[in-house]
Structure 1
Amino acid sequence: MSADPGPSGLAAIAAELRGHPSIRGKLAIGRAAAALGLSVHSDGRPGDDAAVLPRDGGYDLFAGEGFIPAFVNSAPWFAGWCAVMVNVSDIAAMGGRAVAVVDQIWAPDPEAARPVMEGMRAAAEAYGVPLVGGHTNFAASELSLAASIFGRANALITSFDALPGDLLVAAIDRRGEYSGFDNFGAFLGAPAERLRADLEILPELAEAELVTAGKDISQGGIVGTGLMLAECSGVGLDIDVAALDPPAGTAPARWLRTFPSFGFLLSVAPDMVETTLARFAVRDIRADVIGRVTEGSTVRLVDGEDAALFWDYRDTPYLGLRAKEPAHA
């Protein structure tokens, strides 16, 4: 168990996280949506991990990722791998299965682009999703990368359906280590069969109607992802710091903002929790109840009777994309 941070410790953790760049960076999503004239009522329903378009009794899913040039230039092979990995995770988070990936690569010459392409190819083979083309420019001033993905779902896990009374489950593959900044990788050296079967848990959960809502844990970690989930659903969250049990040597604040290579935050009805946890356990993936969904608009860090406010999206919108107004707690 994590050390008891105490009431003043909770407030310090909340303040640290509230001002952290990985948390505040997500504020750009709301600004971009506003500039594009998008709302939760727009086609694709912005706010989810992938755009959703109903078709033929199921759902087409579209997502994309762009990468900071400094990251791509410092670790081009790893960036290429991540371009596929984060996209397939977004599709899985929606209850879907990846169908195909396209790339967008800019480079000064073919040799500069080679490690990026090799990383993408390796990840595509590992996750079993084909690369079907894209856009390539070998006359750019620097190396840059983006990628887009298409997927399909029979049933959805969305960001908009969490309900007060649900329990908050964090499922994170801990068979890895930190690899720079707050990124926790559990994929290098993992068999392809394991990577694919692990992701299959999510569409199976959706099709079995075991979870109410969810998101993949992205930049911003548990607490940032939880805030997005809460705001989209018009609910509050209490995150139990004592239930986190971070990896050895990892402070609670860091674990709360960590971006895991396999991590999902799920809102689950109490009578579905045991079955949901078992789906991850059979794959040797750690899944824990780390909090609960509440009425209201606040995301709080709690430890026993102590609590500290992390964010109130009624006062300070985060994404500004919510399907309903939160009830007053």
Structure 2
Amino acid sequence: MSLDDLARGLRDHPSIRSKLAIARSTRALGLSAASDGRPGDDAAPLPRDGGYDLLAGEGFIPAFVQDDPWFAGWCALMVNLSDIAAMGGRSVALVDQVWAPDEAAAAPLLQGLRDAAAAYDVPVVGGHTNFNAPQLGIAASVFGRAQRLITSFDARPGDVLIAATDHRGAYRNFDNFCAALKAPGPRLRGDLEVLPKLAEDGLVRAGKDISQGGIVGTALMLAECSGVGIEIDTGAILPPPRVPLDRWLRSFPSFGFLLSVAPEDANAICQRFAHRGIEAGAIGRIIPGSAVHLVGETGTALFWNHATQPYLDLGGDHA
């Protein structure tokens, strides 16, 4: 597959284009990157004495919930915890919102949520339940705290782009690559703890949790929030065994983060992840401008230019 074909296929994929809905909703709410909580980050940071309170939430695609309700319940907690960790924070508690036709239909959804809460040692402390809904649905919100933030707004030209992903898993459904289900709880908790420790040590300039848009969609969101361009070196990306590059670039890993760091800190950061068995390496660099390019041996292909086609369209200033 040529770089141009790779870039075009990713740009047109539903998992990438679904993020365009963010712009429509934030415009309807009158929000921008300058609003309270700074929309565009993985969680809303609210300053307090000694650090920040963090708020985040996730809702789930109905087809995903119907296909695998236990896993949807698990993910309702897992992905929220990733959003808090991506901000350099630690999760404190979660509330859920569950809809189901009856109690029996909701049972696997609630069990998945309960199992994840036990594995990650983050309690579900309440929420909202409706057992008279036409179909299953779940959303969840998380509260966390951070001493020092990792944000989406501070990537700078000259930074190295690091991808840290856990390859010890398999696809569960759709493009969800899950490395959490067979891992012991202490390992899951220790893996997430790497992020706040990196933040507190001042080693990470900016970053994001790799979300439904995969590596390329997340890189685009990071680039737009920070007002920069990014070059992604496709030759530096190592997917898990037997996973094609195009699928990996759009996959949603259970543990995956993009970090923008000073070049002199890159090796130390990668070593911290390596000590936990997590794949981490430089996959690109931050550059001036507004374009995200894929780079390979045969040249360069434009994936997206957020100046000419905003992705999140949050406006506001760039930190």
TM range (shorter): over 0.9
Q: Distance in 2 between matches of 1:325 and 1:121?
A: 39
Aligned residue number for residue 287 of structure 2: 294
Aligned residue number for residue 186 of structure 1: 179
**Residue 39 of structure 1, aligned match among 32, 43, 56:** 32
Unaligned runs of 5+ in 2: none
Aligned residue number for residue 156 of structure 2: 163
Could you tell which deviates more after superposition, 115-124 or 303-312? 303-312
Aligned residue number for residue 13 of structure 1: 6
Identity of aligned residues (%): 65
Aligned residue number for residue 146 of structure 2: 153
Q: Distance in 1 between matches of 2:226 and 2:11?
A: 20
Aligned residue number for residue 233 of structure 1: 226
The SS at the match of 2:128 is: strand
The SS at the match of 1:210 is: coil
Amino acid of the structure 2 residue aligned with 1:199: L
8 A Cα contact 2:156 2:228, kept in partner: yes
8 A Cα contact 2:31 2:314, kept in partner: no
Amino acid of the structure 1 residue aligned with 2:65: V
* Alpha-carbon distance change, 278 to 208 in structure 1, aligned in 2, over 3 angstroms: same
8 A Cα contact 1:160 1:322, kept in partner: no
8 A Cα contact 1:51 1:63, kept in partner: yes
Aligned residue number for residue 191 of structure 2: 198
**Residue 86 of structure 2, aligned match among 93, 97, 108:** 93
The TM-score normalised by the length of structure 2 is: 0.98
Q: Distance in 1 between matches of 2:307 and 2:318?
A: 9
Aligned residue number for residue 273 of structure 1: 266
Could you tell which deviates more after superposition, 19-28 or 315-324? 315-324
**Residue 28 of structure 1, aligned match among 21, 29, 52:** 21
Unaligned runs of 5+ in 1: none
8 A Cα contact 1:106 1:140, kept in partner: yes
Amino acid of the structure 2 residue aligned with 1:171: A
The SS at the match of 1:25 is: helix
8 A Cα contact 1:216 1:263, kept in partner: yes
8 A Cα contact 1:157 1:206, kept in partner: yes
Residue deviations 1:185-204 (CA, integer Å, cap 9, x gap): 10111100000000000000
8 A Cα contact 1:89 1:216, kept in partner: yes
The SS at the match of 1:108 is: coil
Residue deviations 1:72-105 (CA, integer Å, cap 9, x gap): 1221111000000000000000000000000000
8 A Cα contact 1:233 1:323, kept in partner: no
Aligned residue number for residue 42 of structure 2: 49
Q: Distance in 2 between matches of 1:324 and 1:290?
A: 27
Residue deviations 1:187-243 (CA, integer Å, cap 9, x gap): 111100000000000000000010110000010100000000000000000000000
Aligned residue number for residue 303 of structure 1: 296
Aligned residue number for residue 70 of structure 2: 77
How many residues align? The count is 319
* Alpha-carbon distance change, 28 to 180 in structure 1, aligned in 2, over 3 angstroms: same
**Residue 256 of structure 1, aligned match among 249, 253, 262:** 249
The SS at the match of 1:299 is: strand
Offset, 1:248: 2.5
**Residue 212 of structure 2, aligned match among 194, 219, 223:** 219
Q: Distance in 1 between matches of 2:179 and 2:107?
A: 24
8 A Cα contact 1:231 1:322, kept in partner: no
Aligned residue number for residue 174 of structure 1: 167
Could you tell which deviates more after superposition, 294-303 or 317-326? 317-326
Offset, 1:171: 0.1
The SS at the match of 2:173 is: coil
Amino acid of the structure 1 residue aligned with 2:215: I
The SS at the match of 1:26 is: helix
Q: Distance in 2 between matches of 1:70 and 1:178?
A: 16
Offset, 1:53: 0.5
Offset, 1:16: 0.3
Q: Distance in 2 between matches of 1:179 and 1:142?
A: 22
8 A Cα contact 2:86 2:195, kept in partner: yes
Residue deviations 1:225-279 (CA, integer Å, cap 9, x gap): 0000000000000000000122222221111111100000000100111111111
Query: How does 1:125-140 map onto structure 2 within 5 Å?
Result: 125-140=118-133
